[in-house]
């Protein structure tokens, strides 16, 4: 059975704290959703001046697979549809479809809208009819439907009846508070389906109890055809139903058709792209699409997965565009080490039981005893492996460096830090040359990074293509943390094509940063 996937990332998702899409962000996200094959894309709220640009461009976005939708509320109480500016815009903008939200709760009607239950019903009928008269397809979002049904089932059903009678093509049941349990959702959807057997039902769940995806799945099982949500579950309060979770559940576990198999294989890439456009950190623990969704750390898990992937992977990661991964850690066994070595250094041909294998494990454990952790820093891990085998190439030797930290930027936003650094760099004949450079930067690490690449660029011009993309610090002995505690620094770098991560550990945060930076440069030069 084919389901309709309705994305509201650009409208409901933008209501999440800290999220503010530019028009370029909106165009990029709409393009990504269209490429995925999402049925409907809610571009924005007709009442929001900032959303009207993208809504006005609906016909020129070049969408091939998705229908663009405008969102608006019913007319105001005591006002006619002709007096509502947002409705006028929704009726005239180039989206073929408009989603109308109206109260489905008597309590909300009286206490929030401040009007009578009958007037609310008329507001719904008038609004849907007005938009239909202007040639729009209309979906009706029954706000607070499940709460309203619990308080007064007859009124909540009458709200749906008025919308349906006026011409709404979809009746979308909203768990606006996100407080429903899946079994309650199922019972109520069944009741609505029985009352309106000819209607096409949708579901819109919020995640205030962490159950939006489960509630949405239950709603589909009980008769809903349209599923609304946002990518990565972004949205107001705790967010919305995450489409990157619910789509593969419905398609791979229950056999419904949401997108094509080829499109599903791009799900991970799409989720990351949208999260980046929202300027948010990607949740690597997200089901299906997270970087850790199919990552194994415990020795017995790694051993089992290497033998049969289904032992600890409920689907093939490739179905959603992800991949299986194995981590080296203190709880890893020989099988784990072997698997990681096979992946990061297949050219070394190291076998368990060999002296080289023992030397590698010994060297890794030596670093781990100092606080190093390689599960997120495989570039540093590869360098340690080569070091254990005596194959680590030293492209440069640090002679000295110094950093000068400027005024706090909270005091002086234009303040810069400075760094100078000196290297000994071998030429083709092995002769050493001293190279020195200084630089200013936004903080000591940025200054050190710029100075290092400036000093080395004469010997290694490709360093101009490399840049740092992320920087994280963690206190290791946090239980008794002091200003003299050891810290672990993780740096992420890219050359615009590949991404790699390196790690450094020291009681001095600048020294730890230098170690990670050194590894990043050295790894890049060794590619």
- Over the stretch 462-511, which tens digit does the pLDDT of each residue have? 999 998 888 888 888 655 555 567 899 999 888 876 778 999 999 999 99
CATH fold match for the domains 4-277 and 397-526: no
- Over the stretch 426-472, which tens digit does the pLDDT of each residue have? 988 889 999 999 999 988 999 999 999 999 999 999 999 998 888 88
Q: Return the CATH superfamily for domain 397-526.
A: Alpha-isopropylmalate synthase LeuA, regulatory domain (3.30.160.270)
**Measured between alpha carbons, how far is residue 296 from residues 288, 292, 293, 352 in Å?**
14, 8, 9, 20
Mean pLDDT of 128-149: 98
The pLDDT value recorded for residue 297 is 63
Assess whether pLDDT exceeds 70 at residue 300.
no
Mean pLDDT of 112-132: 97
Q: State how beta strands 67-73 and 417-426 pair.
A: unpaired
The pLDDT value recorded for residue 302 is 55
Residue 44, strand partner residues:
70
Nearest alpha-carbon partner for 191 in 147, 157, 148:
157
Query: Is 146 exposed, middle or buried, given 0-12, 13-18 or 19+ CB atoms closer than 10 A?
Result: buried
Q: What's the CATH fold of domain 4-277? A: TIM Barrel (3.20.20)
- Over the stretch 80-98, which tens digit does the pLDDT of each residue have? 999 999 999 999 999 999 9
The set of residues, in sequence order, having a beta carbon less than 8 Å from that of 198 and lying 6+ positions away, is: none
Q: State how beta strands 417-426 and 432-441 pair.
A: antiparallel
Mean pLDDT of 162-184: 98
Helix, strand or coil, per DSSP, at residue 140: strand
How far is residue 442's CA from residue 519's CA, in Å, rounded to a whole number? 21
The first and second tokens of residue 125, run together, are 């009928």
Mean pLDDT of 336-363: 78
DSSP state of 74: P
Mean pLDDT of 191-200: 97
Mean pLDDT of 274-302: 78
Domain range annotation of the chain = 4-277, 295-388, 397-526
The first and second tokens of residue 516, run together, are 């990670």
Share of the chain above pLDDT 90, in %: 68
**Ordered DSSP codes for 282-309:** --TT-TTTSTTTTEE-SHHHHHHHHH-G
Q: Could you tell me the pLDDT band of residue 135, with boundaries at 50, 70 and 90?
A: very high
- Over the stretch 4-15, which tens digit does the pLDDT of each residue have? 999 999 999 999
């Amino acid at each position: 059975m084919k389901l309709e996937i309705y994305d509201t990332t650009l409208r409901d998702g933008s209501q999440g704290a800290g999220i503010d899409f530019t028009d370029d962000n909106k165009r990029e996200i709409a393009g990504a959703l269209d490429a995925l094959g999402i049925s409907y894309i809610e571009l924005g709220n007709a009442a929001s001046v900032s959303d009207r640009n993208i809504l006005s461009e609906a016909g020129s976005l070049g969408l091939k697979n998705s229908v663009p939708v405008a969102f608006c509320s019913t007319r105001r109480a005591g006002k006619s549809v002709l007096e509502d500016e947002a409705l006028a815009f929704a009726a005239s903008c180039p989206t073929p479809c408009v989603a109308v939200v109206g109260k489905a709760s008597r309590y909300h009607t009286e206490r929030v809208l401040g009007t009578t239950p009958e007037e609310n019903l008329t507001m719904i009928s008038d609004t849907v009819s007005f938009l239909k008269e202007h040639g729009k397809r209309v979906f009706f979002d029954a706000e607070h439907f499940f709460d309203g049904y619990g308080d007064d089932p007859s009124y909540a059903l009458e709200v749906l009846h008025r919308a349906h009678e006026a011409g709404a093509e979809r009746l979308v049941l909203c768990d606006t508070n996100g407080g429903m349990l899946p079994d309650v959702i199922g019972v109520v959807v069944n009741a609505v389906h029985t009352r309106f057997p000819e209607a096409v039902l949708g579901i819109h769940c919020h995640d205030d109890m962490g159950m939006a995806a489960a509630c949405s799945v239950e709603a589909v099982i009980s008769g809903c055809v349209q599923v609304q949500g946002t990518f990565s579950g972004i949205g107001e309060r705790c967010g919305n139903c995450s489409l990157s979770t619910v789509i593969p559940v419905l398609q791979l576990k229950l056999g419904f058709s949401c997108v094509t198999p080829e499109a599903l294989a791009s799900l991970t890439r799409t989720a990351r792209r949208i999260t980046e456009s929202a300027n948010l950190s990607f949740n690597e623990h997200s089901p299906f699409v997270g970087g850790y969704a199919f990552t194994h750390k415990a020795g017995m898990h790694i051993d089992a997965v290497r033998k049969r992937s289904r032992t600890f992977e409920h689907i093939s990661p490739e179905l959603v565009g992800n991949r299986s991964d194995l981590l080296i850690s203190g709880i890893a066994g020989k099988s784990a080490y072997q698997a990681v070595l096979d992946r990061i250094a297949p050219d070394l041909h190291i076998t368990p039981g060999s002296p080289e294998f023992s030397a590698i494990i010994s060297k890794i454990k030596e670093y781990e005893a100092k606080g190093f952790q390689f599960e997120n820093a495989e570039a540093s891990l590869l360098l340690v492996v080569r070091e254990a085998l005596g194959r680590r190439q030293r492209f440069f030797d640090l002679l000295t460096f110094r950093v000068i930290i400027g005024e706090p930027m909270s005091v002086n936003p234009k303040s810069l830090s400075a760094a100078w650094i000196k290297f000994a760099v071998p030429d083709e004949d092995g002769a050493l040359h001293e190279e020195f450079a200084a630089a200013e930067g936004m903080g000591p690490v940025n200054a050190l990074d710029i100075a290092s690449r400036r000093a080395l660029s004469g010997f290694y011009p490709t360093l101009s293509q490399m840049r740092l993309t992320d920087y994280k610090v963690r206190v290791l002995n946090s239980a008794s943390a002091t200003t003299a505690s050891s810290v672990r620094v993780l740096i992420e770098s890219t050359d615009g094509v590949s991404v790699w991560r390196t790690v450094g550990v020291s009681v001095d945060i600048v020294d730890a940063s230098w170690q990670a930076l050194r590894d990043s440069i050295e790894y890049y030069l060794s590619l």
